[in-house]
């Protein structure tokens, strides 16, 4: 039985994957912002057959909340087999967090970065263990501008989201290099175009197209959740690290996502933004 922590676990592919992992008897640690939704998710995961279910609250737009989550995990668990960084969102308008950071970048990248840095020693002690990042095929075609990570000059919700997904892959690859030989694997994946509530934040004029896409082209949350479940539990990928997956297969990410120097710079900049050891 594995102990699997999933962030963003109250809906979408996070909840679907938690239920799928539960069906194999694993212990699930569900992380979310809303206590009521966490309680509902826990009930659904227990009903699916989990070997145990715990819930922890965290708002990934707050670094203090992420630090508190890490403290709770370290206090409650001697080992963690899987850390699935799945929490994320889309924001059509530019908003800053309580820490003064653009929200999409803060939630989709920095929150997972900070949590992972704070739990890395636990993951190493738990080896063989796995760290996962939910990314997206939308990382293609964008880069990181370290002079304007927060898109203050010209904000686009689509660009902010895509940049954050590129950051997920760059950090995963950099962390995989750093943890090579420890028994901890680190991978990122695209779950597919999933019909989840994340698209509800798109501008009004895009909603009819989204509704049509959900009916005709997008996959279900259960299908998207299987991508996370596969990387979290399947023995076939137990030794794979530093990879980007689509449809349960290793794929070559964008050219920029393969730029090790860019990934290292991202890690250094991210560290200054969260000061994970402070």
pLDDT in tens, 165-175: 999 999 999 99
Whether residue 41 contacts residue 67, with contact meaning beta carbons closer than 8 Å, is answered with no
Whether residue 61 contacts residue 103, with contact meaning beta carbons closer than 8 Å, is answered with yes
C-alpha 138/C-alpha 70 separation (Å) is 29
C-alpha 54/C-alpha 52 separation (Å) is 7
pLDDT, tens digit only, all 278 positions of the chain? 999 999 999 999 999 999 999 999 999 999 999 999 999 999 999 999 999 999 999 999 999 999 999 999 999 999 999 999 999 999 999 999 999 999 999 999 999 999 999 999 999 999 999 999 999 999 999 999 999 999 999 999 999 999 999 999 999 999 999 999 999 999 999 997 654 554 455 554 444 544 444 344 557 888 889 999 999 999 999 999 999 999 999 999 999 999 999 999 999 999 999 974 44
pLDDT in tens, 211-244: 444 344 557 888 889 999 999 999 999 999 999 9
pLDDT at 39: 98
Whether residue 208 contacts residue 263, with contact meaning beta carbons closer than 8 Å, is answered with no
Give the number of C-alpha atoms closer than 13 A to the C-alpha of residue 227, restricted to the C-beta side: 29
pLDDT at 278: 41
C-alpha 55/C-alpha 60 separation (Å) is 15
pLDDT at 263: 98
List strand residue ranges (DSSP E) for the chain, in order.
3-7, 27-32, 52-57, 82-85, 129-134, 184-190, 243-246, 249-251
C-alpha 262/C-alpha 271 separation (Å) is 14
pLDDT at 213: 41
pLDDT at 216: 41
List strand residue ranges (DSSP E) for 125-209, in order.
129-134, 184-190
Q: Report, as residue numbers or ranges, the catalytic residues.
A: 161
pLDDT at 237: 97
pLDDT at 105: 98
- CB atoms inside a 10 Å sphere around CB 2: 19
Burial annotation 186-215 (CB, 10 A radius, 16+ → b, else e): bbbbbbbbbbbebbeeeeeeeeeeeeeebe
C-alpha 136/C-alpha 142 separation (Å) is 12
CA nearest to 223, candidates 190, 185, 187: 190
Instruction: Classify strands 3-7 and 129-134 as parallel, antiparallel or unpaired.
Output: unpaired
Cross-strand pairs, 53: 28
């Amino acid at each position: 039985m594995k102990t699997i922590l999933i962030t963003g676990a109250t809906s979408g592919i996070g909840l679907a994957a938690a239920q799928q992992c539960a069906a194999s008897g694993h212990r699930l640690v569900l992380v979310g912002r809303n206590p009521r939704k966490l309680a509902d998710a826990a009930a659904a995961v227990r009903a699916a057959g989990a070997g145990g279910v715990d819930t922890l609250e965290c708002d990934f737009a707050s670094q203090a909340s992420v630090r508190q989550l890490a403290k709770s995990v370290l206090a409650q668990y001697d080992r963690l087999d899987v850390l699935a960084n799945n929490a994320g969102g889309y924001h059509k308008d530019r908003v800053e967090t309580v820490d003064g950071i653009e929200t999409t970048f803060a939630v989709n990248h920095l929150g997972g970065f900070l949590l992972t840095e704070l739990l890395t020693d636990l993951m190493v002690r738990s080896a063989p263990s796995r760290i996962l990042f939910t990314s997206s095929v939308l990382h293609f075609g964008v880069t990181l501008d370290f002079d304007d990570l927060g898109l203050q000059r010209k904000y686009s919700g689509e660009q902010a989201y895509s940049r954050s997904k590129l950051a997920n892959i760059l950090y995963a690859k950099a962390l995989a290099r750093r943890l090579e030989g420890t028994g901890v694997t680190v991978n990122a994946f695209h779950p597919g175009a999933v019909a989840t509530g994340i698209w509800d934040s798109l501008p009004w004029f895009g909603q009819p197209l989204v509704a049509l896409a959900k009916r005709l082209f997008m996959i279900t949350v259960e299908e998207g959740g299987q991508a996370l479940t596969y990387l979290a539990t399947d023995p076939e990928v137990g030794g794979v690290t530093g990879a980007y997956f689509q449809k349960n297969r290793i794929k070559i990410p964008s050219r920029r996502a393969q730029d090790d120097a860019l990934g290292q710079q991202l890690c250094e900049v991210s560290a200054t933004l969260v000061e994970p050891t402070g």
